[in-house]
């Protein structure tokens, strides 16, 4: 072997080293107490609830571990029973997102109830909420 060829092989090997190095494992996420700033539950502190379950999600090596917890509320606070006609101000047979603002609990749950993603709710969407 001659010197230029050895130099070329050494340069190639040195340049390839970073590709062979394994990425550093990230620091695991830090667990924190439930905060009361979720914006979803307006009338109840999340930290007042009791943790009813916990599941660790399996993630690929190198990704931050994830734990999902369920919380039973300390009490159910909010107006979860509505009069459809009172909220349907324009009497079109639907409760729009703007009309739902009159009821904080309905406004908070609007996206979950609007499963058809229409931006409005009908009586069928509100099964279990209706008084009338």
* Tens digit of each residue's pLDDT (9 = 90 or more) over 24-47: 666 666 666 666 555 554 455 556
pLDDT at 31: 66
Eight-state DSSP code of residue 76: -
The total of other beta-carbon atoms located within 10 Å of residue 129's CB is 19
Residue 41: per-residue pLDDT: 45
pLDDT value at residue 90: 95
What pLDDT does 130 receive? 83
Helix residue spans in 21-117 (DSSP H): 84-87, 97-100, 104-113
What pLDDT does 52 receive? 80
Model pLDDT, residue 8: 66
* Predicted pLDDT of residue 13: 61
**Which residues of the chain carry a pLDDT beneath 50?**
41-42
Give the Å distances, CA to CA, from 92 to 88, 99, 102, 122: 7, 11, 17, 10
DSSP-derived 3-state class of residue 29:
coil
Residue 117 near residue 70, CB atoms below 8 Å: no
């Amino acid at each position: 072997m001659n010197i230029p060829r050895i130099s070329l092989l050494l340069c190639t090997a040195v340049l390839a080293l970073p590709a062979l190095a394994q990425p550093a494992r990230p620091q695991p996420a830090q667990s924190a107490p439930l905060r009361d700033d979720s914006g979803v539950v307006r009338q109840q502190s999340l930290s007042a609830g009791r943790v009813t379950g916990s599941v660790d999600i399996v993630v690929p090596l190198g990704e931050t571990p994830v734990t999902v917890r369920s919380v039973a509320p300390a009490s159910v606070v909010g107006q979860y029973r509505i009069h459809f006609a009172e909220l349907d101000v324009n009497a079109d047979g639907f409760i729009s997102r703007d009309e739902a603002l009159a009821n904080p609990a309905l406004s908070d749950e609007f996206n979950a109830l609007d499963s058809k993603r229409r931006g409005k709710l009908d009586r069928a969407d509100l099964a279990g909420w209706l008084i009338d």
